[in-house]
Amino acid sequence: MKNFKGFIFDIDGVVIDNHEYHFKAWMEFAKKYNYPLDAQKYKDEFNGKTNADLFKMIFGDISKEKQKALADEKEGLYHRLYEPHMKVHKGLEEFLEFVHRRSGKVALGTSAPTENVDFILDGLKLRKHFDVIVDGAQVDKGKPDPQVYLLCCSKVGLDPKDCVVFEDSLAGLDSGKRAGCEIVGVATSHKASELRPRTDLIIHDFTEAKGLLRLS
């Protein structure tokens, strides 16, 4: 396995295993606004997308002010549901420390809003681990567009081919691949069998990461 110089992580379903809490929040939100949503539709169409993309799908063309109000409402539901259960994905901190000892660059690349990124990184004291943070406020194209991962690579000063992306969503795996990075599927939001058509590199948590990438 090649000697990667950059390690890029999505946040939802990767840094934290929070799929069920986002799903519950979206289900509450969808019920209020009479939008038909179930587990399969959420898995197929919602994971990895920006709020702006999702609100356009649900409400059509709405103002930025309305988007902001809806985003605050939905993310407020998510924070309330997830905060009592918030924890770092198993093995992640040890893996991040290992990467830093190898002088690897570490980036966070997500479509999530800044408020959610701050909620997690500061709530779990993880900000110190990331050299670069790219969130939904810095991109105008959500996954599967490669913009977020190309920006991460640019900000850490590395060619995408020297970087590996850890992703849980199908849109996210496509985004990383289209950026030219190696991709590792994290089997949280999807089963390993659902991720496998897009990558043979799959982990369930970060205790498996070093062995999978043959890092020592």
Domain shared by 154 and 197, yes or no: yes
**What are the φ and ψ backbone dihedral angles of 90, each rounded to 5 degrees?**
-55, 125
| Sign, CA torsion 81/86/90/91 | positive
Domain shared by 10 and 39, yes or no: no
Give the model's pLDDT for residue 132.
98
Predicted confidence (pLDDT) per residue in 69-117, tens digit? 999 999 999 999 999 999 999 999 999 999 999 999 999 999 999 999 9
151: which 2 tokens? Answer: 């920006």
Domain shared by 102 and 193, yes or no: yes
Count of structural domains within the chain: 2
pTM across the whole model: 0.90
Predicted confidence (pLDDT) per residue in 2-31, tens digit? 789 999 999 999 999 999 999 999 999 999
List the catalytic residues: 10
Domain shared by 129 and 186, yes or no: yes
Give the model's pLDDT for residue 2.
72
Is 1 a member of any domain? no
